[in-house]
Structures are given as C-alpha cells and as structure tokens.
C-alpha cells in the first residue's frame, strides 16, 4: 500500500488540494469556517444544555467541547468518505489507480480541519483554567486510532454506497442516534454499572471518554480500555480492507 501511495503521490496530493479547495469554494471566510463551525455549535450546545446537565459540573463547556470535537470529526470524515468512490467514478473508471486513494484524500482533508479545531480546543482549555500535565501527550493514541477508525468506517460505507444508494440516508439517521448515545452533553455516572458498560460498546464514546480522562481528569485510562479501543479499530479497519479487496473489480460495474 505504501509503495502504491508513493507511486501515485502526485495524484494523491492533487486530490487533497481539490477536496480542500472544493469545501471552501465561494465562501467569504474560507478556512475560518473550520474553526468557527465547531465553536458556533459549541456555543449553541452550551447555551442549551448547561442549564439542564452542567449546573454542578466543573469545566462543563470543556466537557462539551471534547464530545463535539471528536464526534464532529468522526461524522465529517465518515460522511465525506462514504461518497469518495462515487464522487470520483469518472477517474478510476478510466484510469487504473488504487481506489482507496480517494478515501484517503477525504480523510486527510478532514484531518486538517480536525487539527485546526484541536488547536482552538487547547486554547479554550487554557481560558477554562485546565491544568495540562505531561499526560496530554497520550492524546496521540486516541487521535491515531480515530484516524484509522474513520478510514475503516469510510472503507465500509464507500463500498456499500456503490451498491446501495440508500446507505447515505440510513447513515444520516444512524449518526444522529449515535450522537445521543455518545454522552456528548450529559454524563453517564448516574447510571448503573451495567448501563455504563453498555456505553463502552460504542467506539465513538471510547474516544470521547479518553479525551475527557486526559484533559479534564488528568488520568490515564486502564490498559483494558486501551485494548478495547484497539480491538474496535482493528475489526472495522479489517472489515473495510476485506470489502475493498473482495469487491474491487465489481465497483466498475455499478458506478
């Protein structure tokens, strides 16, 4: 795979540039929307939910920001990744190039947006009097796994989207449900241990929880927590690679 990426490096770079420019085409603020959009969402969520869930919680807005930051990145990367194959059918149906290049370019573009928002998040934490420790370096682990997880989900979705166009509507409904099941604006501490364990079945919640543990609580999750995240990523990424390998040639007949 690395060899093929180097071979098609020029095409890959051009795809990333195209996707990035296309997102901000004909916008007045351009890249500033990468920062303003999550901040405006955070502002709305903070105004709405603080009175209901955050009255007695320290750093509640940062708590919200962690959840919104991770979920927005996941939602954007997977939603854009889903259409990566169909959106570039005119290229790979005429030129023999690795089809995963189109998905990777989408993920690089969304990763850049995530990086910009992450910088704003750290600045916001300073204003919220969050005391950073050396443990902040450990955020590399969930970020790296989240990138791989998004790629894996994108591989699955983009493959399914070629055969079933309805997947885009189903995924929209599913992500909305997933948002409410990821404890973005509420805490699960008041639930029973059984219910809390059920939340651990949600990979997105695991990433959000890891961020909150490191940033707000300054504690390192257990080794079991690390392994659970790794297992989720391995399963989804493995499934995505399997689908691309199995249906690689069939894609051409459905685009």
pLDDT digits (tens, 9 = 90+) for 2-11: 666 666 666 6
pLDDT of the residue at 220:
94
* Residue 125 Cα distances to 62, 120, 128, 227, angstroms: 7, 9, 5, 28
Q: Is there a domain that residue 22 lies in?
A: no
d(CA 63, CA 43): 13
Reference 238, options 152, 145, 110; nearest CA is 152
pLDDT of the residue at 222:
94
Domain with 49 in it: 2-7+31-254
Q: Is the pLDDT of residue 181 over 90?
A: yes
* Helix ranges (DSSP H) in 131-222: 140-163, 167-180, 193-199, 203-215
pLDDT of the residue at 92:
67
Distance of CA 68 to the CA centre of its chain: 10
pLDDT of the residue at 151:
95
* Residue 251 Cα distances to 69, 76, 96, angstroms: 33, 23, 12
Instruction: Output DSSP code: residue 219.
Output: -
Q: Is there a domain that residue 15 lies in?
A: no
Quote the pTM value: 0.88
* Residue 155 Cα distances to 106, 115, 160, 201, 216, angstroms: 11, 22, 9, 21, 33
Q: Is there a domain that residue 235 lies in?
A: yes
Q: Is there a domain that residue 25 lies in?
A: no
Q: What are the structure tokens assigned to 210, written together?
A: 């890891």
Provide mean pLDDT across the span 157-171: 89
Q: Is there a domain that residue 137 lies in?
A: yes
Number of domains in the chain: 1
Q: Is there a domain that residue 21 lies in?
A: no
Q: Is there a domain that residue 84 lies in?
A: yes
Least reliable range by pLDDT among 99-103, 136-140, 204-208, 241-245: 99-103
Render pLDDT for 77-107 as a digit per residue (tens, 0 to 9). 999 889 887 877 777 667 777 777 888 888 9
CA-CA-CA-CA torsion sign (248, 251, 252, 253):
positive
Q: Is there a domain that residue 17 lies in?
A: no
pLDDT of the residue at 137:
95
């Amino acid at each position: 795979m690395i060899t093929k990426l180097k071979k098609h490096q020029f095409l890959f770079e051009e795809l990333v540039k195209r996707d990035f420019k296309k997102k901000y085409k004909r916008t007045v603020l351009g890249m500033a929307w990468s920062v303003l959009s999550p901040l405006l969402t955070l502002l709305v969520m903070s105004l709405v939910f603080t009175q209901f869930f955050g009255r007695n919680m320290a750093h509640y807005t940062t708590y919200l920001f962690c959840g919104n930051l991770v979920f927005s990145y996941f939602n954007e990367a997977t939603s854009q990744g889903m259409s990566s194959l169909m959106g570039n059918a005119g290229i790979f149906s005429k030129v023999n190039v690795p089809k995963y290049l189109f998905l990777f370019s989408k993920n690089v573009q969304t990763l850049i947006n995530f990086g910009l928002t992450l910088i704003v998040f750290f600045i916001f934490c300073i204003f919220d009097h969050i005391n950073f420790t050396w443990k902040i370096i450990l955020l590399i682990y969930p970020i790296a796994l989240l990138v791989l997880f998004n790629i894996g989900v994108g591989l699955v979705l983009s493959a399914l989207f070629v055969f079933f166009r309805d997947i885009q509507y189903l995924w929209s409904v599913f992500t909305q449900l997933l948002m409410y099941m990821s404890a973005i604006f509420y805490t699960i501490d008041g639930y029973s241990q059984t219910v809390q364990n059920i939340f651990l079945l949600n990979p997105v919640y695991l990433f959000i929880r890891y961020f909150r543990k490191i940033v707000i609580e300054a504690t390192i999750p257990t080794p079991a927590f690390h392994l659970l995240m790794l297992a989720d990523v391995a399963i989804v990424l493995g499934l995505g690679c399997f689908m691309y390998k199995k249906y690689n040639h069939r894609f051409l007949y459905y685009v």
